[in-house]
Structure 1
């Protein structure tokens, strides 16, 4: 397959898989820790209630952001033809932009925003790339 097409697929499929994992974990979190009386699809209502929520309501959003990024970056590394870690980190950057946007639209506690932006995206993309690197190097041995 053409290397350019493989690299484009690495970004697209990494982003799609990571986004799917993200949304599944967010939905699971709403099932495990429902916010009584709030329509989770109403951004204004969520934005008003977020600063008042206890820490347990932020476990699944953090896991969704971190694991979505990690798995998306892992897949991007596996698919990319060259510059594999750059493609894994590109997934982290895309998810970071999304995370900043969501934290702006639905402002939560400052501790969550800082933790989320600093730990859930670029570090997880790097870890996903490193895991993929180890796995692919063992296959070549």
Structure 2
């Protein structure tokens, strides 16, 4: 039973901390890369209406938010999980990818961004995060001998 509780806690923490990273980057992205002149990004309706004004540079932070949020969530989950670390890391990636798919229907983003985002920001980042966690776990078990 202890393993099951630890795995559930790993998933919850991975989703929460990955989401915090995601939202933090989304919130600060507009300060680093200014939105287009005349774009109202304060409301969902305004964002949808002004999406056609966005340039490629305006999609850097959304991509980073999705990729790094997934990466952090996968690392945290795989570090904490009692077993099946890569499976749980991929589960985090799949969960964030589901959010990305839903967002692709909600926001009229360019097709190139949707394809790039769905292909590169979720499952590959979950894989990298899981592999990093496994390497860190392996290193910590080797040094504790």
TM-score range, shorter chain: over 0.9
Structure 2 gaps of 5+ residues are none
Which is greater in Rg? 2
- The residue that corresponds to 2:123 in the other structure is 122
* Aligned positions of 1:25-104 closer than 5 A: 25-35=25-35, 36-104=37-105
Deviation of 1:49 after TM superposition, in Å, equals 1.8
Aligned alpha-carbon RMSD (Å): 1.3
Secondary structure of the corresponding residue to residue 108 of structure 2: coil
Detail structure 1 runs of 4+ shifted over 6 Å in the superposition. Answer: none
Give CA-to-partner distance per residue, 1:50-101, whole Å, 9 cap, x none: 2331111000000000000001000000011111111000000110011111
When normalised by structure 1's length, the TM-score is 0.94
When normalised by structure 2's length, the TM-score is 0.92
- The residue that corresponds to 2:14 in the other structure is 14
Q: How many equivalent residue pairs?
A: 141
Structure 1 gaps of 5+ residues are none
- The residue that corresponds to 1:136 in the other structure is 137
